[in-house]
């Protein structure tokens, strides 16, 4: 029996028990894939992060859901980098310290912002967006109860978009409709399976805060617990907004999680080069809520 330290960080919030919780194994070296998967099942959170040595970057990270491994995810990156800064694994003598993290999709930079030597927030860089196949509005609204094509934002087709992980994007007009979303799970699962994605990100361009320009919910028909704040989907949604002219500025304040009692907040930045989207940056704060041990068989 091996004993490992386990930490839980709530990402995209400064308040405990809000935002999106992520379990982290700070020293995962020597754990097998099966052990990592078993730990993720035991925590039963949307993602569990495993920190490992890397010969390509400052750290290697692997992310597991209870169902399997992900190549990249947003809130575990915020949570893991925050923990590394909080515990002195990254020097905080400068206002911004940049580290390189090795993901299964490659190496990406993460900026750790500090104020007076203490960690304040983390900004991750996501990959250049990839725009994939489209689905008809009629098919997508049929995957939800009490949703019609009139509820969708005009001239913005449902489309697969990814900045590391792919999702179906579904932009709708009214926050009240997002509040009442109810999936036709079997039908949505069948539609998403055609595109090889697990979830649809339903979003609108306003929120509870006056400054918010993106509020969304992740609809995963095979997961009966809802993800509070989905960093990788937020990056894809911001890219979609920029591509279809829904973003007034290249900085987009973001909300998610309010309808399940875990409000989270972040800020997106669209990085352009020669008027093309080069990458997406997503920043947010975090707070540690649990620090303990786990026995691994």
In tens, the pLDDT along 156-214 reads 999 999 998 999 999 999 999 999 999 999 999 999 999 999 999 999 999 999 999 99
What does the block give as tokens for 116?
């007076």
114 close to 120: Cβ distance less than 8 angstroms: yes
Question: Is residue 248 predicted with pLDDT exceeding 90?
Answer: no
Mean pLDDT of 132-161: 98
Question: Is residue 14 predicted with pLDDT exceeding 90?
Answer: yes
User: Per CATH, is 130-260 categorized as 1.10.10.10?
Assistant: no
Q: What is the reported pLDDT for 103?
A: 94
Which sequence spans correspond to the domains of the chain?
A: 2-127+284-296, 130-260
Q: What is the reported pLDDT for 1?
A: 78
User: Hey, do 2-127+284-296 and 130-260 end up sharing a CATH topology, with the first three levels equal?
Assistant: yes
Q: What is the reported pLDDT for 273?
A: 87
Q: Which of 259, 261, 278 is nearest to 270 (CA)?
A: 278
Answer yes or no: 47 catalytic. yes
Burial of 65 (0-12, 13-18, 19+ CB in 10 A): buried
What's the CA gap between 174 and 51, in Å, rounded?
A: 40
CA distances from 113 to 92, 100, 231, 280 (A): 8, 14, 18, 17
What does the block give as tokens for 65?
């859901």
What's the CA gap between 198 and 233, in Å, rounded?
A: 11
Predicted confidence (pLDDT) per residue in 250-294, tens digit? 999 999 999 999 999 999 999 998 888 998 999 999 999 999 999
Burial of 115 (0-12, 13-18, 19+ CB in 10 A): exposed
Question: Is residue 99 predicted with pLDDT exceeding 90?
Answer: yes
pTM greater than 0.85: yes
Percentage of the chain lying above the pLDDT 90 cut? 94
What's the CA gap between 189 and 167, in Å, rounded?
A: 13
CATH classification number, 2-127+284-296, choose in 3.40.50.2020, 3.40.50.2000, 3.10.310.10, 3.30.420.40 = 3.10.310.10
Q: Which of 18, 42, 47, 210 is catalytic?
A: 47
Question: Is residue 77 predicted with pLDDT exceeding 90?
Answer: yes
What's the CA gap between 55 and 77, in Å, rounded?
A: 19
């Amino acid at each position: 029996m091996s004993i490992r330290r386990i930490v839980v960080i709530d990402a995209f919030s400064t308040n405990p028990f809000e935002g999106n919780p992520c379990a982290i194994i700070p020293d995962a070296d020597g754990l097998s894939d099966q052990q990592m998967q078993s730990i993720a099942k035991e925590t039963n959170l949307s993602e569990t992060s495993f920190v490992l040595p890397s010969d390509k970057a400052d750290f290697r990270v692997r992310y597991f859901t209870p169902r399997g491994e992900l190549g990249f995810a947003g809130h575990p990156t915020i949570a893991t980098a925050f923990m590394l800064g909080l515990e002195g694994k990254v020097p905080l003598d400068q206002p911004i310290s940049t580290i390189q993290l090795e993901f299964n999709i490659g190496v990406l930079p993460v900026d750790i912002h500090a104020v007076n030597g203490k960690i304040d927030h983390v900004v991750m860089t996501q990959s250049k967006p990839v725009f994939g196949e489209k689905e008809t509005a009629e098919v997508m609204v049929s995957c939800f109860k009490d949703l019609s094509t009139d509820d969708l934002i005009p001239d913005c087709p449902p489309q697969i978009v990814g900045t590391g992980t792919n999702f179906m994007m579904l932009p709708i007009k009214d926050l009240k409709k997002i509040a009442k979303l109810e999936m036709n799970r079997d039908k949505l699962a069948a539609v998403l399976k055609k595109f090889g994605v697990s979830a649809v990100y339903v979003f609108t361009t306003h929120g509870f805060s006056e400054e918010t320009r993106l509020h969304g919910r992740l609809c995963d028909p095979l997961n009966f617990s809802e993800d509070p704040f989905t960093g990788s989907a937020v990056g894809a949604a911001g890219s979609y907004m920029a591509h279809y002219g829904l973003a007034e500025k290249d900085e987009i304040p973001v909300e998610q999680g309010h309808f399940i009692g875990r409000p989270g907040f972040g800020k997106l930045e669209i990085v352009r080069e020669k008027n093309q989207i080069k990458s997406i940056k997503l920043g947010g704060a975090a707070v540690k809520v649990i620090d303990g041990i786990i026995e691994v068989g």
